[in-house]
Amino acid sequence: MLIDLGNFTPGLSLTGGLVIGAAAAVLILFNGRIAGISGIFGGLLNWPRDDVNWRLAFLVGLVGAPVIAGLSGKSAQAEIEASWGAILAAGFLVGIGTRYASGCTSGHGVCGLSRGSVRSLVATATFMATGFLTVFVQRHLLGG
């Protein structure tokens, strides 16, 4: 295995993980809500909406943080080698998956596991196994 040391950022990754964990803890402690992005966004689409403010604030922060980092010159560029059709299809499939799994990777992986949820353990294990299998097939069977 080769590690790209130019892009290997364990300190930044650890800091990001700690900030995500702290945000999830603050949200559940002070608001009684789980920081699953699909649930937060989905709640904006449901009627009646009585808890719009915290949902919008969370999503604005989620989108705004990388924008602010980009303006400061500290952003990382990611190149996606896929067509817009493939990206839209993947997003659609992820959306379907989050509905079937009753949540997304952030909800199950960060919040569910920390609460000891067996359902979240199974969901996170499934997400990870699918990711591992996808990388294996892509790299070793399809030669990508």
pLDDT of residue 75: 59
Distance CA 63, CA 74 (A): 15
- Contact call for residues 35 and 24 (beta carbons, < 8 A): yes
pLDDT of residue 120: 92
pLDDT of residue 119: 92
Q: From residue 61, give the alpha-carbon distance in Å to each of 47, 56, 71, 133.
A: 23, 8, 15, 32
pLDDT of residue 77: 67
Average pLDDT over residues 53-71: 86
CB atoms within 10 A of CB 132: 10
Predicted confidence (pLDDT) at residue 60 exceeds the cutoff of 90: yes
Mean pLDDT of the chain, nearest integer: 85
Place of tokens 């809500």: 33
Average pLDDT over residues 116-130: 92
What is the per-residue pLDDT across 64-118, written as a single tens digit (0 to 9) for each? 887 887 787 765 666 778 899 999 998 898 888 888 888 888 788 888 888 899 9
Contacts of 7 (CB under 8 A, 6+ apart): 76
pLDDT of residue 95: 83
Predicted confidence (pLDDT) at residue 38 exceeds the cutoff of 90: no
DSSP letter assigned to residue 75:
P
